[in-house]
Structure 1
Amino acid sequence: MAILAVNAGSSSLKFSLHPLQDGQVQPFVLSGNIQGLEPHGTPEMSWTYLGKKHAEALVVSADSSPFATALQGVRALVQRLEAAPDIQAVAHRVVHGGGVFTESVLVTPEILDKLASFNSLAPLHQPHNLEGIRQFQAAFPELPQIACFDTAFHASMPEVDYAFALPRSLQDQGVRRYGFHGLSYQYIMSVLQEHTIRGRGRVVMAHLGNGASLCAALAGSSVATTMGFSALDGLMMGTRSGALDAGVLLYLLEQGWTHAQMEKLLYKQSGLLGVSGISADMRKLRADGSENAQRAIDQFTHRVIRETGALVACLGGLDALAFSGGIGENDAVLRAQVCERLAWLGIRMDAQRNQEASGKQAYAIHAPDSSVEIWVIPTDEGRVAAREAAALLARQDKATAQGQAPATSALA
């Protein structure tokens, strides 16, 4: 048996198949990505199965959509793969669970309706996550669909960190800091704790990619994070602004900007793209070499350094620093610059190991005399989602065996 993990976006679909062995989720045997799922797009599916890479174009029929075609492509692929394990459930990454969902849940119509009420809090992600669930329900009607939340890992944050300095009545309505990238942080933390005792101490994790955030963890639990009410706060990102004085938005309102214009500005036209005017891709900016490209890189790096310092203050020190995400895992220059600016913490990087780190699992890059351990840990959100789904199914099986009615909803 296996769990199929899914991450549905606006124009792409990532999936991975994780076998179960003695009830434990194993690394994926199948991993794939389908691009071109925007309206009138041409889906292209690439995948790796047992270490071998493949690719094919998917043909959209007149009575179908790119997304529906992609799902049928995934189903057909899994069915035709030699020796592929049977799927027991589909685990979906869902960005926002609000203050309601603090653990994974079996999806019901009522839960889908509640999750849709959070769409405005994560407009780049939530609607597409939920559409993925709906489409997979139609394509795999016999399988349980399980929602796994990015916000759940941060449910342990104390009120002093998640509360805004606003009237309590607004907090009672759900206006508070939630935090995101939780599935990634859950995976990084589990790997770090497998490799070093420092993972049980004061840790800052840096998920740096097109979406970027930092998380401070103490004894394995989140105590502070840079993202907040929405996925806009904190670090500068690929196309998102990060932390911004609310007065800027009031000014734009006075200038006649509409909600739609401001949403597009903050989510799609800011960050690395907005500052550079060139690209949201750090690799392209590194290769460009222009003054505008360097300005964007410097600003991104500075925000990482500044916010790391703030989280270290919340922790009262630092035992380990972990880099992950597309930029964190692959940009050795950024890692070196961040660690150089944090040398006052006793951080010492091994330059050679830093250059060697990309593409390796859980690779330590600190020097022997470093007071802080530094790690590069490629994240695997799909495996965490699969673990969450397997654990939920095991709890339900246990409840059924004991003659209890298994809970299927956090709203029950």
Structure 2
Amino acid sequence: MSDILTLNAGSSSIKFGLYRSGEEPQLRQLGQIENIGPLARMVLRGEDGKTTTEIGPADHGRAVRAILDVVAPMLEGRAVAGVGHRIVHGGKTFGAPTELTPQVMDQLDALVPLAPLHQPHNLAAVRAAQDAFPQAVQIGCFDTAFHKGHPFVNDAFALPRRFYDEGVRRYGFHGLSYDYISGRLVTDHPDLANGRVVIAHLGNGASMCAVKGGRSIGSTMGFSALDGLPMGTRCGQLDPGVMLYLLDQGYSPVQLGDMLYKESGLKGLSGISHDMRTLLASDAPEAAQAIDYYVFRIRRELGAMAAVLGGLDALVFTGGIGENAAPIRARVADELGFLGLQIDSAANSAGDRVISSGRTPVLVIPTDEERVIARAVSAALR
């Protein structure tokens, strides 16, 4: 068996996992580098909780080298045989895990404008890993891949057709998370796995996916990772006329990009924080308004996803907020009895995996994107 490493790089962090390859990879260590920049730190997670170590100034290259320092003793002299990477955008081309050759990297570089908050950092981590592990197979796993094959009506915008042919279409994201949750349904809830399921991935980035028979047929996210639900700092659904107005008022595309990706969402509405935990603990009316809007949009999109599916057989919460914020779960289901949704308040508060008391099951399933990546690398090595 070989050792494989997974890297899930964001703008200010890199999550990683060390696995022993196999039919089902065996986890050896999880961790992440947080606060990439002047004050980076290493966080390792294990059975005894987590440990934090300050590592000082670090870019993505230095962060990968710090990860190597941590995993090297666990390798016991063996080389890392494969490195798997989360790549947010695969465009029209990439619908399955792919070896990251120079030609592929050039194609992925061209997609940076479609995911400017994520793609550059994903690719920076790939290049750092190629330097650190020159003999390892580098595999890209794409957040858009799970959504390939949507019906045309769920992919297209009502623009001149040439734009759709050029790739201006709805892609959907968070696909690694949806892939993992769909697999968990097969093993843990086989009676639901072939049904009509809405998965709500709620975190700093948030989206919902309509899954039927294990396949994505609709997503709240579209051409970019801005559409759909409001997020920590991203706006979610927005009338494009607002952008035309702001451009006419003198805003530059760069200014608009910074506002939409970094200053909007919960942070923009509240003027307090992008963190749901902070907002739930706040007495400020602006915090309450931001939460009200967040819940309202989830409920609205949940109704839309149920319509796409032609009914609802189960709702699954996942992601940092979905897994941990019981008040948000309760409020989302409130007054949705017509969809069969009713929350058992005791089970919800206790963080149980099944929290429903109505006819439609409501589940809480922790996601594991790193395991999906590890499985893809392990398969490539075999």
Q: Same fold (TM over 0.5)?
A: yes
Does residue 1:330 correspond to 2:324, yes or no? yes
Question: Paired residue for 1:191?
Answer: 184
Counterpart contact for 1:13–1:34, Cα < 8 Å: yes
Q: Distance in 1 between matches of 2:258 and 2:102?
A: 30
Q: Which moved more, 1:222-231 or 1:384-393?
A: 384-393
Q: Distance in 1 between matches of 2:70 and 2:47?
A: 14
The CA deviation at 1:50 is: 5.3
Q: 1:365 aligns with which of 342, 355, 360?
A: 355
Q: Please tell me whether the aligned partners of residues 92 and 147 of structure 1 are also in contact (alpha carbons under 8 angstroms).
A: yes
The residue number in structure 1 matching 2:273 is 279
The Cα of 1:53 is off from its aligned counterpart by 3.1
Partner letter of residue 225 of structure 1? S
- Aligned twin of 1:220: 214
Cα-to-partner distance string for 1:50-93 (whole Å, 9 max, x where unaligned): 54533322255xxxx53222212111211123879863211000
Matched-pair identity in %: 48
1:384 paired residue among 369, 372, 377: 372
Q: For residue 53 of structure 1, what is the amino acid of its counterpart?
A: K
What SS is found at the alignment partner of 1:58?
A: strand
Q: Secondary structure at the match of 1:24?
A: coil
Do structure 1's residue 45 and structure 2's residue 45 form an aligned pair?
no
Q: How does 1:63-102 map to 2 (within 5 A)?
A: 66-81=59-74, 87-102=80-95
CA distance in 2, matches of 1:104, 1:236: 29
In the alignment, is the contact (CA less than 8 A) between 2:228 and 2:236 conserved in 1? yes
- Report the Cα distance in structure 1 between the residues aligned to 2:200 and 2:40, rounded to whole angstroms: 32
Structure 2's unaligned 5+ residue stretches are none
Paired with 1:84 and 1:377, the residues of 2 have a C-alpha distance of 36
- Deviation digits for residues 323-375 of structure 1 (CA, Å, limit 9, x no counterpart): 01111011101111111231111122211111111xx6xx11112xx221110
Q: Which of 141, 144, 148 matches 2:141?
A: 148
Match of 2:252 in 1: 258
* Alpha carbons 2:13, 2:34 under 8 Å: kept: yes
Q: Spell out the pairing of 1:6-405 with structure 2 (5 A cutoff).
A: 6-21=7-22, 23-26=23-26, 28-38=27-37, 41-49=38-46, 51=48, 53-59=50-56, 66-81=59-74, 87-196=80-189, 197-357=191-351, 363-367=353-357, 370-394=358-382
Output one character per residue of 1:237-258: Cα deviation in whole Å (capped at 9) or x when no partner: 1110001000000001110110
More moved, 67-76 vs 178-187: 67-76
Alignment-mate amino acid for residue 35 of structure 1: E
Unaligned runs of 5+ in 1: 395-412
Q: When the two structures are aligned, how many residues end up with a matched partner?
A: 380
Q: CA deviation at 1:44?
A: 1.0
Contact map agreement 1:78 1:84 (CA 8 A) in 2: no
Distance 1:91 1:329, change over 3 A: same
| Equivalent in the alignment of 1:398 | none
- Does the 8 A contact of 1:101 with 1:152 survive in 2? yes
Question: In 1, distance between residues paired with 2:82 and 2:48?
Answer: 23
TM-score (norm 1): 0.89
Query: So what's the TM-score if we normalise by structure 2?
Result: 0.96
* Cα RMSD, aligned residues only: 1.6
CA distance in 1, matches of 2:311, 2:230: 24
- Do the aligned partners of 2:80 and 2:133 also contact (CA within 8 Å) in 1? no
| Mapped contact 1:29–1:49 kept (Cα < 8 A) | no
Larger mean CA deviation between 96-105 and 81-90 belongs to 81-90
Q: After the TM superposition, which of the residue ranges 223-232 and 2-11 deviates more from structure 2?
A: 2-11
Say whether the 8 Å CA contact 1:103–1:152 is kept in structure 2: yes
Tell me whether 282-291 or 346-355 shows the greater mean CA deviation. 346-355
* In structure 2, distance between residues paired with 1:374 and 1:112: 40
Per the TM alignment, residue 162 of structure 1 is displaced from its structure 2 partner at its CA by: 0.4
